[in-house]
Amino acid sequence: MARSADTNKKPFIVGNPYTRNDVYDALGIPDGDRGGKWNTGYTKHAGEIYVFCNVGVPGRTGHDYQNRWEGDELVWFGKGGTRLTQSFIKEMISGDCRVHFFWRSAQYSPFTYAGWPDFITEIKDTSPVEVRWGGFGGYPMIRGRARLSITRNVSTSDDLYDPITRMATAIVQRVAMSQKTTTIKRPLRTGPQFKELVTALRKLWVRQDGKCALCGRAIPLLPANRLMQMSPDRINSRAKTYLSRNVHIVHLGCNLAKSDASMSDWTEFLQMLRDPVPV
C-alpha cells in the first residue's frame, strides 16, 4: 500500500510517479531556482538531500553508472570523479540528514519516489563513490520483496542505529584517507568494509553491555555532551587496524584522554583519577 513519506512535512507518496516539475511544485521551489543544480543528479534543499537517478539505463549525458536494485537495496553511484572524502558525499552518508530517492528505468519518463533509506549496508571508496542503500520500506517493498535489515540484527534499541553507523562511517573514512598526503602524510589504517563494521560494532556493544571499555561506565546513546558519545578505540594503538579483535567501544572523552597510550598506561592513569585525593 502506498504511503506518504511524511504527511506532516513532504507530500510525496512512496511508489508514485513525479516529474522534476512536480517536485519543484511540491517543495515550493521558485521559478528562478528550478533546473540548474536540480539536474545534476542530487542536491540539497531545506536541510534534506534529493537524489534523481536512472536505474538500468544511461542518463541523458550517456553516463551509465550501473545503478540497480538488488532485492530491497539500491546500489547507487555518485557523479563522475566523486570520492568518499568529498564534503557532500560525507554529508549524504553521515545519517545527519534525510536523503530522498527518485528513480526511473527509462529516459524522459517520470521518476518513481522510493522514499528514504533507513541504513547503508556498504560503501566503496571508488570513483565514482558506490553506496548500497537499504531499508526504504517503500517502492521495493510494495513489489512484494522482503525487506532486508541486516544492520539491525543485534540491536538492543532503535536509538543504537545512528551512533553505530556514525562510528562505522568514521572508520571507513579514516581507512580511505590513510597514507594520503595533504600538508602531511596520513598514517596507514586498515579495516573491514562498512557492512562488516556495522555488524561487528553492534556485537561489541552487546558484549560490552553498553559500557565503556576504558572506564566501565555506561555509554548513553543520545548524549547532550559529545564527550559521552560512543567512539571506536584501537586497543593496541600501534596496530593500525580496525579489525574487530583490535577495537572496543568507549566514551569519546575516554578515547581522547587515552590517545595512543597503552592499556597498562591508561589503567594506571585511571586508577590515579579514582584514588581518593590525599588531605
Domain of 202 in residue numbering reads as 158-274
20 in the same domain as 140: yes
104 vs 167 pLDDT, higher one: 104
Question: Is there a single domain that holds both residue 88 and residue 22?
Answer: yes
Residues 263-279: what's their mean pLDDT?
A: 85
Q: How far apart are CA 49 and CA 93, in angstroms?
A: 11
Residue 174 sits in the same domain as residue 220 = yes
Q: Summarize pLDDT for 179-214 with one digit per residue, the tens.
A: 665 555 556 677 777 778 888 888 899 899 999 999
Residue 279 located in a structural domain: no
pLDDT above 70 coverage of the chain, percent: 79
Q: Does 107 lie in the same domain as 54?
A: yes
Number of domains forming the structure of the chain:
2
Residue 160, pLDDT score: 61
- H/E stretch holding 17 reads strand 17-18
Q: Determine the pLDDT at residue 59.
A: 55
- b or e along 245-274 (b: 16 or more beta carbons within 10 Å of the residue's beta carbon)? ebbbbbbbbbbebbeeeeeeebeeebeeee
Same domain, yes or no: 133 and 201: no
pLDDT tens-digit profile of 135-187?
775 433 333 322 323 233 334 444 565 677 778 877 877 777 666 655 555 56
Q: What's 181's DSSP letter?
A: B
pLDDT band at 125 (very low <50, low <70, confident <90, very high): confident
Edge-to-edge strands, sheet with 17-18 = 17-18, 111-115, 99-104, 48-54, 42-45
The CATH number that applies at residue 270 is 3.30.40
